[in-house]
C-alpha cells in the first residue's frame, strides 16, 4: 500500500484562461482551459447534447471505455468551475449572434 500525504491550507482558486468558441461543430461548442491556484492548467471542451451543455475533461479511450485523466476531488469546486465555463460560453455565444 502506498503512503498518501495531503495538505489543505486554503480554498482552491481557479480562472478560465483560454476560451474559443467553435462555430460550425455540432457537438463541440467551445475549447477552454482552466488554471487552478496559478499552478496547474487543465484543458477541456464544452459539449452540446440533445438537451444540455456539459464539460468534457481530459480522458482517453482504453478497451472501448473512456477513462478519466482528470477528476475533481471536491464536488462543489467541480460544479462551480463547470457552471462558470457554461456561463462563459452562453454569454459569448449570445454576443456573437
pTM: 0.82
Query: What pLDDT does 84 receive?
Result: 95
Residues of the chain with pLDDT under 50: 1, 6-7, 9
Compute CA 25 distance to the chain's CA centroid, rounded to the nearest angstrom. 18
Query: What pLDDT does 95 receive?
Result: 75
Residues β-bridged to residue 40: 36
Q: Is 70:56 a contact under the CB 8 Å cutoff?
A: no
Amino acid at each position: 500500500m502506498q503512503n498518501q500525504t495531503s495538505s489543505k491550507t486554503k480554498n482552491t482558486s481557479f480562472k478560465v484562461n483560454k476560451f474559443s468558441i467553435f462555430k460550425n461543430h455540432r457537438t463541440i461548442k467551445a475549447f477552454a482551459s482552466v488554471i487552478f491556484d496559478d499552478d496547474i492548467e487543465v484543458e477541456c471542451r464544452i459539449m452540446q447534447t440533445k438537451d444540455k451543455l456539459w464539460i468534457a475533461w481530459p480522458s482517453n479511450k482504453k478497451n472501448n471505455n473512456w477513462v478519466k485523466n482528470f477528476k475533481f476531488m471536491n464536488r462543489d469546486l467541480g460544479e462551480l468551475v463547470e457552471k462558470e465555463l457554461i456561463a462563459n460560453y452562453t454569454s459569448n455565444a449570445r454576443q456573437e449572434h
